[in-house]
Amino acid sequence: MQFSRCDFFYLTTELRLIYRSRHFQVNRKDRKMTRELPSHAKVVIIGGGVIGCATAYHLTKLGVKDVVVLERKELTCGTTWAAAGLVVQLRGTPEMVRMTRHGYELYQEIEKETGQPTGFIKSGVINIATNEHRKHELEMLESLSESFDIVNRPIDMDELRKRWPLINTEDVLSAYYMPNDGVVNPVDTTMSMAVGARKGGAQIFEDTDVLDFEMKNDQVVGIRTSRGDIRCESTVLCAGMWSRELGRKLGISVPIHACQHMHFVTQPIEGALKGMPILRDQDSSLYFREEVGGLLIGAFEYGALPYGTEGIPDDWQFRELPENMDHLEPLVENAINRVPELADAKIRRITTTAESFTPDNMYIMGEAPGMKKLYTACGMNSSGILCGAGVGKKTAEWIVEGYPKSGHIWEADNRRCFSWMMNIKWLRDRAPETPGNLYGIHFPFKRFETGRNVRMSPFHDRLAEQGACFGQLFGYERANWFAPEGVTPKYEYSFHRQNWFEHSAAEHKAVREGVGIYDLSSMANFIMQGKDALSVLQNICGNNIDAPTGKVVYTQMLNDRGGIEADITVTRLRQDKFFIVTAGATALRDFDYIRRAVPDGAHAFLHDASSAFAMVGVMGPNARRLMEKVTDADLSNEAFPFGTAREIHVGYATPLAVRMSFVGELGWELYVPTEFATGMFDALMEAGRELNVKLVGLHAVDSLRLERGFRHWPSDIDPEHTPLEAGLGFAVKFDKGDFSGKEALLRQKQEGLRRKLVMFTIDDPEPLIYHDEPIYKDGELVSENTHGAYGHSLGASVGMCYLKNPEGISDQWISQSRYEIGVNGKRYPISIHLTTPYDPKGERVRM
């Protein structure tokens, strides 16, 4: 075998230089754009990689000419130069696909405008499966591709070998071909956008190191650089793996940890055809593409090597890191298994460098919470080239429009980056898992294994004793299901009914028929108080917050387009004091949204009390019986009606009891100060014993809420959909005075709806659904599932989708058609429901 250890060291300086100059010499003219730094710029972008250049380019397209890009060394010298250039459009969510598609299209056209080619080649991509789970995942992706309008078709082994003659198909179970994807030259692509930005008026400064910031009123007003100072209005952090440390200086959370990332290229191999599709063998953690008659082989491996925990060296510039042979060897073996010719191939070069990864594999974009006009666009998780233009476009929109106008992108929003996430040990511990996760099998409900037990509710140990199997959401350990005695509380992942399905069904049943207790301490709660608190809330909420003390108001926070920014409850504790409850995941976002709505000088103070309270839900037809055993409070309907709240005694604790339910049953949510939490929990469990109270996990809660039709932000409702479209018109009070979005909603009401959220159930009880499965109306693709789960009371999967009709949408229009859903490449008839499919009181709620 010639593909040996010594080959890895057959990399002479000379070869590396040839490689670089081949990529860079064409662009030398554009790179050296050094002039005197202007004293002021409207927007300053820090970092001249693909993201910084894409942002500058798109800002100029939106008419912002006064843009300055500051690059500490040379454009592309951070990570961009090293990329393999894959441009694969299929991503996990519709908005991610749209972002990638923007780059995919731009990279094919931008040469006409800039004269600088990107090197785009439409090679196509082939994905293969070598185990049953992956086979299933590829089937699911076929359906998802249809929702996203991406050609992704199965091919047989003959076609696979024809398209990829070098492949060993012995262990291949299935293969899918996406003919439209391709590759670009990452450096040329970046340069092309840099040229375009410059043509549009932007100025680019290399050899300009950003050293420090001058802040005023939570805004960067001045930047100190190695070339002098510059004043600015908006600042964009596009500094790749340097962004964490710059973020620290700025006082914002940018949780990034770099990992070593590599690819190697062989000398020409017979059978490596020019323009051959990219081959992704994710089960081997590898991708392959043709390069100058040889193969470029890259890896996304579990157990990646973290880099730069203490920071990135000052002199980093096109830096290559020493190869770690022990790390590479298993990957090389995998490569040889897939392409046996590699055993005799000579290695031309190995590129081991570093790339930034985030704890959840998503980008960090948007205006930083708590800051004014400070934006981040970093944490690209080795997809910065394919999504670079899309990220640049959205970032530019954020700056110019105040929000990402082409589509909201919560999954990548920096308002999910809590300050604790900058904990370096946590980032370092999580880092090895993140690259591998990108090529791992994306089982439903799969959770990261590293960096666990960061945030735990006071009940955690008690729940663990009772067999809780935890998942992690934004660091919070939450009981997803409970293993009965004799069963190990551990996920056995699959795409079918997983090992917890029946246990979760029993929890669901307990809530529907008896009584269940669940821990939702991960929910966020804020206290808003002051003379102006009411008016601030009235301005941003659709519902009337001016309710009597003790009343709980379910409302959406709206933007001025009428779109839903948050889905919350507001309880009036006193005349000027409000208790706001929202999802834990969106705590930072929602807090920031409310805080920004407080006018300067207003007497309204917002406090995040999430860590001060734990919360349990006591839910089910027997909830009152259980509660009556531990409280002296009158819990009758008359004394404690639905939608009210007050402090009651439960055991020795005095929680705020809120008569609300996210599961559609009689029950109370008990918000208890954390130091009283376990005592209260024990009292409830003790009292519930006679009633066979069951601990309930969040999988069951999701099933319960969904079949009852309760919406969830951001899957079912989001900033681009209004309460009227989402069937939440009952929570909008037009007669309460002015509020954000009122005009837009009145207009929508007048003109009539063109989109409407409906529920559906699959007629066949077998298929499981999660999100984004395609929905067909009379055979035509019209929508996708916003979120789905198995409804155990309904005995079928249940989901939601928006139906659209530009002519106006009516119940009759909806009802006259036949609907189907695509699951794993197969279509199943579905029934559309204009009322909630499940209602315990037999009163069907109108949507």
Ligand X SMILES: Cc1cc2nc3c(=O)[nH]c(=O)nc-3n(C[C@H](O)[C@H](O)[C@H](O)COP(=O)(O)OP(=O)(O)OC[C@H]3O[C@@H](n4cnc5c(N)ncnc54)[C@H](O)[C@@H]3O)c2cc1C
Give 84 or 745: the residue with its C-beta nearer to ligand X. 84
CA neighbor of 77 nearest in space, from 382, 389, 299, 317: 317
Options 84, 172, 296, 698; binder of ligand X; rule CB under 6 A: 84
Residue 83 touching ligand X (CB under 6 A): yes
Residue 606 beta carbon to ligand X: minimum distance, rounded to whole angstroms = 33
For position 386 contacting ligand X by CB under 6 A, the verdict is yes
Question: Applying CB under 6 A, does 247 fall inside the site for ligand X?
Answer: no
Does residue 382 belong to the site contacting ligand X (CB under 6 A)?
A: yes
In sequence order, what are the beta bridge partners of 647?
Answer: 656
Give yes or no for residue 85 binding ligand X (CB under 6 A). Answer: yes
Q: How far is the CB of 45 from ligand X (least distance, A)?
A: 9
Which residue of 3, 47, 143, 495 would you call a contact of ligand X, by CB under 6 A? 47
Q: Which residues contact 232 (CB under 8 A, 6 or more apart)?
A: 40, 41, 42, 43, 44, 68, 220, 221, 222, 223
Nearer to ligand X (CB atom), residue 99 or residue 533: 99
Choose between 74 and 702: whose C-beta lies nearer to ligand X. 74
- Contacting range for ligand X; rule: CB under 6 A; set: 58-66, 374-382, 501-509, 610-618: 374-382
Q: Which stretch binds ligand X (CB under 6 A): 57-65, 260-268, 534-542, 773-781?
A: 260-268
- In the complex with ligand X, the residue whose CB is nearer, 358 or 383, is 383
Q: Are 269 and 166 in contact (CB under 8 A)?
A: yes
Shortest distance, position 167 Cβ to ligand X, whole Å: 20
**Going residue by residue from 292 to 311, which x/- string records binding to ligand X, judged by CB under 6 A?**
------x-------------
Candidates 374, 733, 371; CA nearest to 546 is 733
Task: Figure out which of the listed residues 27, 55, 60, 80 binds ligand X, where binding follows CB under 6 A.
Answer: 80
Site for ligand X contains 238 (CB under 6 A): yes
Side-chain half-sphere exposure of 393, counting CA atoms within 13 A: 21
Is 198 one of the binding residues for ligand X (CB under 6 A)? no
Could you identify the residue written with the tokens 């002051």? 530
Q: Which residues contact 97 (CB under 8 A, 6 or more apart)?
A: 89, 90, 91, 148, 150
Among 58, 134, 163, 263, binds ligand X (CB under 6 A): 263
The DSSP result for 671-720, as a single string, is EEEHHHHHHHHHHHHHHHGGGT-EE--HHHHHHHHHHTT---TTTT--TT
What SS3 state is found at 395? helix
> For residues 59 and 666, which CB has a smaller minimum distance to ligand X in the complex?
59
Of the candidate residues 37, 77, 110, 768, the single one contacting ligand X (CB under 6 A): 77
Residue 210 lies near ligand X (rule: CB under 6 A): yes
Instruction: Give the one residue of 355, 665, 716, 773 binding ligand X; rule: CB under 6 A.
Output: 355
CB of 377 to ligand X, least distance (A): 7
Considering only residues 51, 96, 468, 731, which one is a binding residue for ligand X as defined by CB under 6 A?
Answer: 51
**16 near ligand X, judged by CB under 6 A:** no
Site string for ligand X, 307-346 (x = CB under 6 A): ----------------------------------------
- Enter the DSSP assignment of 653: B
Task: Pick the closer one to ligand X by CB: 91 or 415.
Answer: 91
Query: Interacting stretch for ligand X, rule CB under 6 A, among 83-91, 611-619, 631-639, 650-658?
Result: 83-91
CB of 729 to ligand X, least distance (A): 42
Compute the distance between CA of residue 252 and CA of residue 807 in angstroms, rounded to an integer: 46
Return d(Cα 606, Cα 557) in angstroms, integer. Answer: 15
43 contacts ligand X (rule: CB under 6 A): no
347 binds ligand X (CB under 6 A): no
Please identify, using beta-carbon distances, which residue of 50 and 823 lies nearer to ligand X. Answer: 50
163 three-state secondary structure: helix
Cα atoms found within 13 Å of the Cα of residue 407, Cβ hemisphere only: 14
Peptide bond into 714 cis (omega under 30): yes
Cα 822 to Cα 784: distance, rounded to the nearest angstrom = 9
- The residue whose two tokens read 């919350």 is 568
Identified binder of ligand X from the candidate list 45, 46, 431, 800, rule CB under 6 A: 46
Nearer to ligand X (CB atom), residue 375 or residue 770 = 375
| Residue 261 binds ligand X (CB under 6 A) | yes
Dihedral over Cα of 560, 563, 567, 570: its sign: positive
Which residues fall within 8 angstroms of residue 785, CB to CB, at 6 or more apart?
760, 769, 770, 771, 772, 773, 775, 799, 800, 801, 821
**Residues in 492-551 that interact with ligand X by CB under 6 A:** none
Q: Which of 182, 200, 240, 729 is in the footprint of ligand X by CB under 6 A?
A: 240
Q: Any contact of residue 277 with ligand X (CB under 6 A)?
A: no
Q: What φ, ψ does residue 846 adopt, rounded to 5°? A: -70, 140
Per CB under 6 A, the list member of 45, 125, 167, 262 interacting with ligand X is 262
Judged by CB under 6 A, the residue of 24, 44, 56, 78 near ligand X is 78
Beta strands in 110-244 (DSSP E): 125-129, 153-155, 174-178, 182-183, 203-205, 210-216, 219-225, 228-237
Residue 252 binds to ligand X (criterion: CB under 6 A): no
Cα angle 670, 590, 95 (rounded to 5 degrees) comes to 120
Query: Does the footprint of ligand X cover residue 193 (CB under 6 A)?
Result: no
Binder among 27, 189, 203, 351 for ligand X (CB under 6 A): 351
By CB under 6 A, tell whether 380 contacts ligand X.
Answer: yes
- CB of 386 vs ligand X, minimal distance in Å: 4
Q: Does 395 bind ligand X (CB under 6 A)?
A: no
Closest CB to ligand X among residues 85, 799: 85
Residue 65 in contact with ligand X, rule: CB under 6 A? no
Asked whether position 101 contacts ligand X by CB under 6 A, the answer is no
Question: Helical H runs in 25-91?
Answer: 28-31, 50-61
CA–CA gap between residue 623 and residue 692 (Å, rounded): 11
Which is closer to ligand X, CB of 316 or CB of 500?
316
d(CA 81, CA 812): 56
Q: Are 122 and 134 in contact (CB under 8 A)?
A: no
- Residues in contact with ligand X, counted by CB under 6 A, come to a total of 42
Q: CA-to-CA distance for 704 and 554, rounded, in angstroms?
A: 18
Which residue carries 């208890």 as its tokens?
Answer: 672
Q: Contacting ligand X (CB under 6 A), which of 23, 31, 72, 101?
A: 72
Give, for 296, the enclosing helix (H) or strand (E).
strand 294-299
Told to check if 809 binds ligand X by CB under 6 A, we report no
- Per CB under 6 A, does 783 bind ligand X? no
| Residue with token string 């990646």 | 304
* Closest distance of CB 705 from ligand X, Å: 37
Question: 613 is written with which tokens?
Answer: 């309270």
**DSSP letter (8 states) at residue 611:** G
Contact (CB, 8 A) for 797 and 788? yes
Smallest separation, CB 302 to ligand X (Å): 17
Binding status of residue 70 toward ligand X by CB under 6 A: yes
Under rule CB under 6 A, residue 209 binds ligand X: yes
Using only C-alpha atoms, the chain has a radius of gyration, in whole angstroms, of: 28
- Report how far apart, in Å, the C-alpha atoms of 35 and of each of 66, 208, 418, 670, 740 are: 15, 11, 39, 63, 45
The reply on whether position 358 binds ligand X by CB under 6 A is no
Q: Does 48 bind ligand X (CB under 6 A)?
A: yes
Instruction: By CB under 6 A, name the binding residues for ligand X.
Output: 46-52, 70-73, 77-80, 82-86, 186, 209-210, 238-240, 242, 246, 261-263, 298, 351, 353, 355, 378, 380, 382-386
